[in-house]
Amino acid sequence: AQSVAQPEDQVNVAEGNPLTVKCTYSVSGNPYLFWYVQYPNRGLQFLLKYITGDNLVKGSYGFEAEFNKSQTSFHLKKPSALVSDSALYFCAVSDSMGRRALTFGSGTRLQVQP
C-alpha cells in the first residue's frame, strides 16, 4: 500500500523568509510525487511533480521540491515566502504502475505573516 505523511499540521513563516513544508512517502517501486495547493473554498491546484531525473524540481509560483530517495522525502520549498502563499498544501504519491489513484497526505496549512 502507498502512503504519504505530512508531519506538520501548520507551518508559520515570516514574509520574505524561506519556507519548507515536509513530506515523506511509502510506495512499492519508483514513486511519482506531487504537490498541490488549496485555497479556501476551492479545489486543488497542481504545483509540481517528480517523475525521474533531477532531484530538484521547479514548479509554479516559485516553488520547488527536493526528492531524496534514501530518506523517502519530497519536501516543498520556496526561497522567499509571500503572504499570498498562505494556503493548504498537499503532498501526493502514486506508484509507477499507476494501479491506484493518487494517495494524499493529511495536508499542511502554511501561514505567512506580513
Binding site for another protein (CB under 8 A): 32, 34, 36, 41-46, 49, 51, 88, 90, 94-107, 109
Nearer to another protein, 41 or 70 (CB): 41
Cβ neighbours for 35, distance < 8 A, ≥ 6 positions apart: 23, 46, 47, 48, 49, 59, 63, 65, 74, 76, 89, 90, 91, 92
Minimum Å gap between C-beta 48 and another protein is 9
Q: How far, in Å, CA of 41 to CA of 38, rounded? A: 8
Shortest Cβ 100–another protein spacing (Å): 8
Residues near 73 by beta carbon (within 8 Å), at least 6 away in sequence:
22, 23, 24, 25, 66, 67
Q: Which is nearer to another protein, 81 or 93 (CB)?
A: 93
The residue among 44 and 65 lying less far from another protein, judged by its C-beta, is 44
Cβ-based nearer residue to another protein, 82 or 102: 102
At its nearest, how many Å lie between another protein and the CB of residue 99? 8
